[in-house]
Amino acid sequence: MPHLTLEYSDNLPAPVDFGPLFARLHEALVEIGSFRLVDLKSRAVPHACFRVGAGSPESVFVHLTVAIFAGRAPAQQQEIGERLLAILKAAFEGAWAGRPCDFTVELREMRREGYFKTTNRATSGTGTTP
């Protein structure tokens, strides 16, 4: 935990190398604190069927949902959102400079009682368990 789901319109102007982008997002979360690198999971979901605003075919979107356990201070949530949004803007600067773009980050709090996990991986990692 957390889980990052990056949804994007499939009309982004250049191919995206998600490996380095996910690495930057993970590093930022560990730096902000209380997240362990080993617990982070990211995935990308392209959307071929979408509409942004008035429907211009040039418009693109990138939306990052970050599911975290409830209980983090509002200041920490603000830092997470702003930092990850800046990473997205840098990663997609070509789209940002040349097309109408909407980049968004949503923090979604999850109840610990409603989250279940099992793993056979080693669980040592950077950071602390919240």
Give the CATH number for residue 96.
3.30.429.10
18 burial (CB, 10 Å; 0-12 / 13-18 / 19+) is middle
Q: pLDDT digit string (tens) for 43-72?
A: 999 999 999 988 888 899 999 999 998 888
- Cα–Cα distance for residue pair 31/91, rounded to 1 Å: 19
Domain region containing 9? 3-114
Residue 80 falls inside a structural domain: yes
Q: Is residue 105 part of a domain?
A: yes
Q: Give the per-residue pLDDT at 129.
A: 38
Q: Tell me if 66 sits within 8 A of 106, measured CB to CB.
A: yes
Asked if residue 54 is part of any domain, the answer here is yes
Domain count, the chain: 1
Residue 121 lies in a domain: no
Query: Quick check: is 20 in a domain?
Result: yes
pLDDT at residue 125 tops 60: no
Residue 117's pLDDT band (cuts 50, 70, 90): low
Judge whether 101 lies within some domain: yes
Q: Which residue has the higher pLDDT, 52 or 124?
A: 52
Task: Give the CA dihedral 9, 16, 83, 8, nearest 10 degrees.
Answer: 10
